[in-house]
Amino acid sequence: MAEGETSSGTIRTAGRLDKALAELCGLSRERIKALILQGDVMVDGAVATSASAKVQTGAGYSVHIPPPDNPQALPQDIPIPIVFEDEHLIVVDKPAGMVVHPAAGNLDGTLVNALLHHCAGELSGIGGVARPGIVHRIDKDTSGLLVVAKSDAAHEGLARQFADHSLERAYLAVCGGHPKPAEGNVSGRMGRSDADRKKMAVLPDDSSRGKHAVTHYRTLDRLDHAALVECRLETGRTHQVRVHLASIGHALIGDPVYGRTPAPLRPLLKALDFRRQALHAAILGFVHPVTGNRVSFSSELPADMRELIDGIGHSNR
C-alpha cells in the first residue's frame, strides 16, 4: 500500500485486528496500530479503536494511509544490535521484521529511525532525508549484517566497493530439498518478472533487460526434506539468493513469494509460527573506506532459524 491509498475487503483469519490487517495489507503491526490511533481503520462500518480487538472471519474492513506530512525520517528510540561502530560507519545485526528505511507503508519503526536516535543524527546525507547513511539493504524479513555510513566519505567509499563487487558477503539459508550438486554456482541475468512485475526472476541469456547476477552456494548440512546452505554473492541484486535458489528448484523455507515449503514441513512451520524466508546475512567483509584496513564481521544464526533447523532434523538419505 502507498500513501493516500485505501485498502478494503474482508478479514480472512479471525484473531487480533492488528495482526489480521498486517497480513492483508502488507504493513507492519506497529504501522497498523498507528493508523488505528489516527482513526484511519474501519471494521464493519465503524471506526476501529483497539489494535487488540478480536475480529471474525468475513468482517469488512478498510484501511486508509494518509499522505505523509513530512518525508524526513525522524529519530526513534528503538534498540538495535551494534556489531561495530566508529566515527565513520556502523555495522548492525538487523533483526527479521525490521524495514531498513522509511517507505510507503513503513514510515517509522525502521532501522534508519533507530540509527538516527543512536547516532544523534550523525549519518551520511548522501542517501537523502529518507535514507540517510544507507549504502545497501536487506529485505524486511531477512536478518543479519548491514553496514551504514556515518560520514559522506565512508558512504562514497562503501558505495564504490558495492559497485565493483569487492565486498565479502555470505548468507545462510534453509532451502527445500537437497541441491544437486551439493555445491555450485547460479548465474545469469536477473530482472523484473514478465509474469509478475512485483517479483524478480532469472531472465533468458539473450534478454536485453536485467543485470548479471552470480551466487556461489554450498550445502553445509543435509536436513530432512531441506538443507542448510551457504550462499556467497558476487553481485548484490534484489532478492538474489531467494530467486537463484528458487530457480534451481530449492526455494527458501518460508518464502511467501518465490516458492512453496515442502508439504512435510508445513506443520512444523505452523507450530513454530515461522513466517519469513529462512535467510540470514551471516558474513560481511570490506575495506574500511577511511582507514584502509580490511575488516570482517560475522553473525550467528538467529534463534528462530536455529529452532527451525532443530525441528526439521537431519536427513538419513
Mean pLDDT of all residues in 33-42: 86
Predicted TM-score (pTM) of this structure: 0.76
Domain ranges of the chain: 5-65, 82-164, 168-312
Q: Is 310 a residue of the active site?
A: no
The mean of the pLDDT values for the chain is 91
CATH superfamily, domain 168-312, is Pseudouridine synthase (3.30.2350.10)
Determine the pLDDT at residue 63.
92
The catalytic position among 139, 141, 255, 304 is 139
CATH of 82-164 given 3.30.200.20, 3.40.190.10, 3.30.2350.10, 3.30.930.10: 3.30.2350.10
Q: What is the DSSP annotation of the chain?
A: --TT-EEEEE-SS-EEHHHHHHHHHT--HHHHHHHHHTT-EEETTEE---TT-EE-TT-EEEEE-PPPS--S---------EEEE-SSEEEEEEPTT--SS-BTTB-SSSHHHHHHHHTTT-S-STT-SSSTTBS----TT-EEEEEEESSHHHHHHHHHHHHTT-SEEEEEEEEES--SSSEEEEEEEEEE-SS-TTSEEEEPTT-SSSEEEEEEEEEEEEETTEEEEEEEESS--TTHHHHHHHHTT-PBTT-TTT----GGGHHHHHHHT--S--EEEEEEEEE-TTT--EEEEE-PPPHHHHHHHHHH-B---
Instruction: Say which CATH topology domain 5-65 has.
Output: 3.10.290
* Span 164-192, pLDDT tens digits: 999 999 999 999 999 999 999 999 999 98
- Looking at residue 288, its pLDDT comes to 98
